[in-house]
Amino acid sequence: MDNTDNLVIPKWVSFTKEWHTKPYPDISPSRSGLSAAGKNVVITGGGTGIGKAVAIAFAQAGANSVSILGRRLDRLKSSVIAISAATQSNTQVLYRKADLTEHAQVQDALASITSAVGKVDIFVNNAGALPPPGLVAKYNATTFMGAFEMNVLTSLNAIQAFIPLAGADPILLNISTNLAHVRPMAGMPAYAASKAAQLKMVEHFAVENPELHVVSLQPGVIATEIAGPDSNVQGQDEVVELPAHFCVWLASSEAKFLKGKFVWANWDVPELLQRAEEIRDSRLLTIGLAGVAM
């Protein structure tokens, strides 16, 4: 294989029999059981794509406040307009400009948010980047390591800034990717390696802070700005509202059994709930070495 043209998404294996590509009633932000009333929500990378959709969903769920972080003011401002228009509640919508590769900027942004609305109850670690495809043997080393800066360093800065400002019973939703745990797919080494490292870092963070409810999420194959105008990945059929609504469900009391787990937004919530005790009390939906349960 000498090129990575027209990368094709393989047929995934699902944990649940039902496979979703669009939102459905069980994860609707308008469901009373999924209300985010009284909660302060912060989303990194909230100016576009999945982050913007997640912000809209939590506003629809009646959150006390929804705050977004990002580097581009124009995207943040347009996102705030969309978030505000999507809610009929009194949700406060804030934005703060911050380069997530700069720890001080992230720290200052979160401090500014909490001074305005109070402690952070739900933190959605979403910001990241999709480096260009390529083969390991020919990949530019600077570009490769840049993926770690955009996917690992940004997350490190975000969660370090979040933890001292977290409220009671805080929730961290980590937007990850299936490429961090599935069998290798030729052409995506930088993205897969950096997101696998990010996932492992978040797992350690969760163990170090047991008071946190941490869940990692594969959002789906979503056609968003992160892929760039020349995205050549085929097989995209999920809509961005699916992971957004799924995040609202993950932050609800119904999903407490998923603490420390890795889930896909495509999986069926009723089926997951039917297996709640089995999932909670086992190593199901955790990352490890097949055949070695440790």
Write out the chain in H/E/C secondary structure: CCCCCCEECCCCCCCCCCECCCCCHHHCCCCHHHCCCCCEEEEECCCCHHHHHHHHHHHHCCCCEEEEEECCHHHHHHHHHHHHHHCCCCCEEEEEECCCCCHHHHHHHHHHHHHHHCCEEEEEECCCCCCCCCCHHHCCHHHHHHHHHHHHHHHHHHHHHHHHHEEEEEEEEEECCHHHCCCCCCCCHHHHHHHHHHHHHHHHHHHHCCCCEEEEEECCCCCCHHHCCCCCEECCCCCCHHHHHHHHHHCCHHHHHHCCCEEECCECHHHHHHCHHHHHCCCCCCCCECCECC
* pTM value surpassing 0.85: yes
In angstroms, the CA 132 to CA 87 distance is: 36
pLDDT tens digits for the chain (294 residues)? 345 555 556 678 899 999 999 999 999 999 999 999 999 999 999 999 999 999 999 999 999 999 999 999 999 999 999 999 988 789 999 999 999 999 999 999 999 999 999 999 999 999 999 999 999 999 999 999 999 999 999 999 999 999 999 999 999 999 999 998 988 888 899 999 999 999 999 999 999 999 999 999 999 888 755 544 334 444 557 899 999 999 999 999 999 999 999 999 999 999 999 999 999 999 999 998 888 877
Which pLDDT belongs to residue 294? 76
For residue 265, the enclosing domain spans 18-280
In a domain, 7, yes or no: no
Q: What is the CATH number of the domain that holds 151?
A: 3.40.50.720
Q: Which two tokens stand for residue 186?
A: 């030729």
In a domain, 10, yes or no: no
Which pLDDT belongs to residue 120? 99
Which pLDDT belongs to residue 226? 52
In a domain, 230, yes or no: yes
In a domain, 287, yes or no: no
Domain count, the chain: 1
In angstroms, the CA 293 to CA 39 distance is: 37
In a domain, 119, yes or no: yes
Angstrom CA distances, 25 to 135, 215, 217, 258, 266, stand at 42, 21, 19, 20, 14
Residue 169: closest CA among 209, 205, 199: 209
172 φ/ψ angles, rounded to the nearest 5 degrees: -120, 115
User: How big is the chain, counted in residues?
Assistant: 294
Residue 42: closest CA among 60, 58, 20: 58
Which pLDDT belongs to residue 196? 95
Cβ–Cβ < 8 Å for 34, 248: yes
